[in-house]
Amino acid sequence: MENNEKRSLREDWRLIKRAFGIWNEIAPHYWFSQILCVFANAFIPYFGIYMSAALVTELGGDCNPKRLAILAAVTVIGSFLLNYVNRVIHLRKDLDVNGFWYAHHAFLQDHQNQMQFEHFENPDVLLRKQEITTWFASFGGGLLKVQWCIPDLLDAILNIIFSAALTFSMFRMRTDGYNRGWFGLINSPFSGVIILLLIAVNAFFSIKISTTRSQKVSEALNDVAEYNTWLNAYFRGAKGGFAIDDIIFGMNRIFLNEYKRYHLHPKWAKDSSDINRHYGMLSILLNAAVNIAIFLFVAAKVYIGVFGLGSFLLYQATIVRFVSAVSSFASEFGNLRFNNQYLIKVYEFLDLPNEMYKGTLAVEKRDDIDYEIEFRDVSFKYPRTETWALRHVNMKFKIGDKLAIVGENGSGKTTFIKLLCRLYDPTEGKILLNGIDITRYRYDEYMALFSVVFQDYALFQFPLAANVAASFDWDAERVRDCLVRAGMEDKLDGLERGIETPIGRDYDSEGVDFSGGEMQKIALARALYKDAPFVILDEPTAALDPIAEAAVYENFNTLTQNKTSVFISHRLSSCRFCDKIAVFDHGMLVQEGTHEALVGEAGGKYAELWHAQAKYYEGEVSESVKA
C-alpha cells in the first residue's frame, strides 16, 4: 500500500472528493439525510447546555420566578421539539443507509458489466473486485470509509464551531489588573495561548495516533487479507448445487476449515484488539490531560471572579466537547488520509482502460436483412499470452446460412465466436460486415445483430417471462410463442402461473426448479425472443436427452428461418442439417464443406472425427434429421 507521506494534501483531497462524487451518484439521497442528522446531533446538546447554564445563572442571580418559568418552558418544549425532529430525520437516514450497502455492490457490478470483455477473463481483475468488496465488508475500507468519515468530520467541525462560539468568552479577563502569582497568569492573555497550544498539540498527536493505529491494524491483516479475498471468492462462486455436493461429499469441511484458519484466526483478532486498545488508551490519556488542564483553568477563572458558577458549568461542558471534537476531527482526518491507499486501488479497478475502439457508423437497417460476414485473414492471440488461438482464418457466410463449427477442444471454435460477437478484436486481419470493418460500426448496434446461447448461460430467479424477454416489460404472447418454439409447450401447460412462474425456489416458494434441459430451452427461447439476424448456438442441446435433441434438430430450420445460424457442437451427427461445416484444428480453419463432402475427404480432419464418434451416435438421430 502507498505511504500517506508520499501524497500531498491536495492529492488526498482529490481522492476523497472523487469518492464523495461516486457516493453522490449511487446514493444521492443519503448525503442530504446524513447532513441533516449531523446538524441535529451537533446542535441539540448545545441547546440543552446553554439553557441549563442560563437557569443556573438565574438561580444564582436575581432568581426571578417569571424568568425562571420562561427558561424552564423553553428548555422543556425546545428539547422535546428538537428531539422529535431529530428522530424523524434519523428514521429517514436509516432507510437510506440500508440502501447504500446494496448500491455499492450494484455500482461495482454495473461498472464491471461495462468493462472491456478482456477484463472479465483476467483473474487479476476479478480478484481485485473481490478484494474491494472484502475491504468494504470487513473493516469499511475504500468507498465505505468516506461514508463514515465525512459525516464524522462534519460533526466534529460543527461541534468545534458551536462549542467555540459558546466558550469564546471564557478567555476574558478581569479588568482591575488582577495579577497575583499563578492567578495572575490565569488572568493574562498567555493563559489563553497556552490552552490553545495544548489543544493544537492534542490534535497533532491525535492524527499521528489515528494514522499509526490504522497502519498497524492494516499490517496485522495483510498476512490474511489475500486469503480472505480468495475465501470470499470461492464462497460467492458456489453454484446452486453447493448444498447437494455438501451433503454427498461433505464439501463444507473444506470451506469451514479455511474459514476458521483465516477469517476467524485468533492471532489477528488478538493483534487488532491489542493495537486498538493500546492506541485508544493513548488517545484517551491525551484528551484527559487536556480536559484536566482546561478544568483547572476554568475553575481558577471562577475563583478569581472572572465569571460565575453558571458560566463555569457552561464552559466546562462545552470545552470538553470542543477538545473531543478537535481530537475527533484530527482522528477522522488521519483515517481518511490513510484510507486513500484503498481508494487508489478502487480507482485502479474503476479506471481499467477500455481500449476497444467503438465506431460511429450506424448499422444499416435492411428490410431484407441481407447481411454478409467475412473473416479476412484473421489471427488472434489472447492478452498475456504469446500463443495464437486463431491463425489466418478466411471465411464468408450470409443471412440464411446454417453454419456448423466443429473441432476438438482448444481448436479455436469459441474464440471464433468471441471475435464474431466482437468481445475481442482480431490481433491481425479484419472482420467485415457487408464489406465494412466491424470496428467502424457503433458497438451497441453491431451487438444487437446477435442472439447467442452459450454453454455457460445465465438465468436468474425471476419470472420465466423476465428471463426470456431479458426485461420486466415483456410481451406475454411473444414470450409464450418463443418458449413453445423452443420445446417448452408441455411444461408451460403444467405451470399454474404460466410464464410468470419464478425460476427456482430460493426467493419464492411457488417457484419451479427446472431441469438442465428445460433451462437450456429457456435460454434458447431468450435467443429467439431477441429476434436478431444472427443466432449463435454453443452446444445448444448438451443438456437434452436424445429425443428432445432430435426434436430441436428437426425444428432447427424453422427456429432460425431467414436468419444466419452458427452452431458449435462436438457431436458431429448434429451437424448434418447445416448448409456448411467449418472444421477447426489447432486454431486454423482446415476444412469447409457439406457433411457428405467432408466425410468423403479421406484423411481429412472431419472424416477422422466422424469415424471416431460414429459408434456413439448411430441410431440417435431420427430419420427426419438424417434426411
For residue 566, what is the enclosing H or E element? strand 564-568
| Look-up of cell digits 458549568 | 313
* Tally of CB atoms within 10 A around 266: 8
Q: Are residues 445 and 483 in the same domain?
A: no
Residue 275 in domain: yes
**Please, are residues 332 and 324 in contact by the beta-carbon 8 Å criterion?**
no
Tell whether 229 and 130 lie within a shared domain. Answer: yes
Residue 64 has pLDDT above 90, yes or no: no
Which pLDDT value is given to residue 107? 82
Of 511, 509, 521, the closest CA to residue 483 belongs to: 521
Is residue 355 in a domain? Answer: no
Q: Which pLDDT band holds residue 591 (cuts at 50, 70, 90)?
A: very high
* Pairwise pLDDT comparison (140 vs 81), residue with the higher score: 81
**Are residues 142 and 245 located together in one domain of the fold?**
yes
Total Cβ atoms within 10 A of residue 241: 9
Residue 341 and residue 287 share a domain = yes
Are 250 and 381 contained in the same domain?
no
Domain boundary among 304, 320, 350: 350
Per the domain annotation, does 358 fall within a domain?
A: no
Residue 240 included in any domain: yes
CATH at 228: 1.20.1560.10
pTM attached to this predicted model:
0.67
C-beta of residue 269 within 8 angstroms of C-beta of residue 231: no
38 within some domain:
yes
pLDDT of residue 564: 83
Mean pLDDT of the chain: 77
198 and 233 housed in the same domain: yes
Are 206 and 327 a contacting pair, CB within 8 Å? yes
Domain of 471, CATH number, reads 3.40.50.300
Residues 145 and 244 in one domain: yes
C-alpha cell at 27: 446514493
Residue found under cell 477563572: 301
Q: Could you say which of 318, 350, 382 is where a domain stops?
A: 350
Are residue 198 and residue 54 in the same domain, yes or no? Answer: yes
Q: Percent of the chain scored above 90 by pLDDT?
A: 13
| Domain total of the chain | 3
Claim to verify: residue 442 and residue 525 sit in the same structural domain: no
Please check whether residues 594 and 618 belong to one and the same domain: yes
Q: Please say whether the beta carbons of 134 and 303 come within 8 A.
A: no
* Residue 357 domain flag: no
Residue where a domain terminates, one of 530, 565, 594: 530
Indicate if 412 and 336 belong to the same structural domain: no
Query: Do 188 and 258 share a domain, yes or no?
Result: yes
- Whether 521 is covered by a domain: the verdict is yes
* The pLDDT of residue 623: 42
Q: Which of 472, 464, 467 is nearest to 453 (CA)?
A: 467
Residue 356 included in any domain: no
Read off the pLDDT of residues 424-454 as tens digits, 9 standing for 90 and up. Answer: 999 999 999 988 999 999 988 898 888 888 7
What confidence tens digit (pLDDT) does each residue in 9-46 have?
888 889 988 988 888 887 777 777 777 878 887 788 87
Cα of 417 vs its chain's centroid, Å: 29
Quick check: 391 pLDDT over 90? yes
Range of the domain at 163: 4-350
Element (H, E) at 437: strand 436-437
Residue 361 in 3-state DSSP?
strand
The pLDDT of residue 26 is 79
Predicted pLDDT of residue 77: 86
